[in-house]
Structure 1
Amino acid sequence: MKKIIHTDQAPAAVGPYSQAVAANGFLFLSGQIAIDPATQELKVHGTIQEETKQVMNNMLAVLAEAGLGPEQLVKCSIFMKDMNDYAAINAVYASYFEGIAPPAREAVQVSRLPKDVRVEISAFAAYPQEK
């Protein structure tokens, strides 16, 4: 069985997909881009750091709706338009894992992202096992 996760604290899906799906003890989070959930407007006119922060905040909002936090993330995928932004994206990303073990990850440059954003991040999380 699967459970669809949705929150108004993250942007609405811009296509035929769910913000996240919980199944078999895992949460599969769709890619997040820098859309302000309050206005549904892109926040891409600032720095890459500001764009990445919005992406991470959106992802954490979906995690929170599912009852999870960044410590339950097990795998993230970072897609960026320009590998020259790697260090700046990585610095913001790393700040969300201070004091906890970061998830596995890859970071790749792609030719184009939805709505021509500069960064998109998707993830998997695991629900804690009951003891």
Structure 2
Amino acid sequence: MKEVVAAKQAPAAIGPYSQAIKAGGFIFASGQIPLSPESGEVDGTDVGTQTRRSLENLAAILEAAGASLENVVKTTVFITNMAEFPAVNEVYATYFPANAPARSCVAVAALPRGAKVEIEAVAHLQS
């Protein structure tokens, strides 16, 4: 069985997908771009601010699913400029200060709404 997760503290999906799905003891969170939950607009012009907003959105979705960033076992980070990876990494490290999840980082040609970063995650629910 699967359960759709919808968090009011994170921006609504901008397409035909769910913010996250709970299934088999895991939460599969869709990629989060740096949209402000209040305005629906991209938050910030620099990659550091955008990374922070993307992670805050992800945290809100996980909280709505009964978890937190501490439950994350894998992330995938998509960035539009690999030269900005150090700035992304600096902010990312503050959200995962210990026992960081496995991670992939991929440079892409473009992201929705002109965002510079998008982050998706898989989290394990503690039983």
Q: Same fold (TM over 0.5)?
A: yes
Displacement of 1:39 in angstroms is 1.3
Q: 2:109 aligns with which of 92, 102, 111?
A: 111
Specify the alignment match of 1:124 in structure 2.
122
Specify the alignment match of 1:85 in structure 2.
84
Specify the alignment match of 2:42 in structure 1.
42
Structure 1: gaps spanning 5 or more residues: none
Matches of 1:31 and 1:125, distance apart in 2: 13
Runs of 4 or more above 4 Å deviation: none
Matches of 2:15 and 2:89, distance apart in 1: 27
1:41-88 Cα offsets, whole Å, 9 max, x none, are 11142x211111000000000011111111100000000000000000
Q: How does 1:28-107 map to 2 (within 5 A)?
A: 28-45=28-45, 47-98=46-97, 100-107=98-105
Q: TM-score, normalised by structure 2?
A: 0.97
Identity of aligned residues (%): 42
Cα RMSD between the aligned structures?
0.8
Specify the alignment match of 1:20 in structure 2.
20
Matches of 1:61 and 1:110, distance apart in 2: 25
